[in-house]
Amino acid sequence: MICVSIKEYIKCWLEELEVQRCYSQHTIDAYRRDVLNFENFLAEHTGEDISLKILQNLKTMDFRSWLSNRISNGLTARSNVRALSALKSFFYHLAKKNLIDLKSINSVKRPKLSMLLPKPIKEDAIISFLNLDSFFENDPEWITDRDRALFSLLYCCGLRINEALNIKTSDVDKEIKILGKGKKDRIIILLPMVLDRINEYILSCPYDLSDGFLFVGLKGKKLHASLVDHRLQKLRVVHNLPDHASAHAFRHSFATHLIQHGADLRSVQELLGHESLSSTQIYTDIDDYNLLKIYANTHPLEKQ
């Protein structure tokens, strides 16, 4: 008789990811959905409630059937890669407890993932956008100041949107410590222009920001990423921005433009908070022409 239910094992695994491995809440939520998706598929596939014994007897073809089912339901290769990673992580958790064998799941090949390059916003377009007198004609002045400060921060520092929205007003200085993915700290330096725009926003904001989050909404509560993306969807139309202009596109633009102007990959890696250099290298594939210009202008033999 099994004393612990599968749901208890899943709960224990997710707690390990959060506490010991410092996974973000976003990743934990995605992994939970992926494993529950597998559990639901398996229940329908076998016609039984899922038990540890069923997991122990799974064959490679069972995992492949699950992935095929996801593909037939329209889920993308990227989504399926993540789902398989989540499932393997859960199975490794069980294997560490000597509850399961990994031979079958380790035989499942990861779905092929085409290289999706990040799409930056053109340099002149993003600079013009950041220097607009207003974004929406009927916005209160402090909302315009807020958005200008936020978008400038995203582009000039390469922050993820949630990193920016988690900044407290008391943290604002020439340097700010950012808590990134995996709960890893990094220091960002605020350009004088960005610091000026943040201070302008603080002065114009009708709410007391001194004891809370820097960026707030109309009711004075913490600003959420979903609202920022919703506003950007409308701004794309009003100001003729490209379809891919999103909060994350400002981060892509930051990295791309730095590399196009000669910044080295290691420095950009540190600024972005990437754990692996391979995550930063994708930006070198965006504009081969500019990269070749940098190479030609910086190689020692070219200067002779």
Residue numbers annotated as active site: 160, 181, 248, 251, 274, 283
Q: Is 183 exposed, middle or buried (0-12, 13-18, 19+ CB in 10 A)?
A: exposed
The CA distances from residue 59 to 42, 72, 101, in Å, are: 12, 20, 11
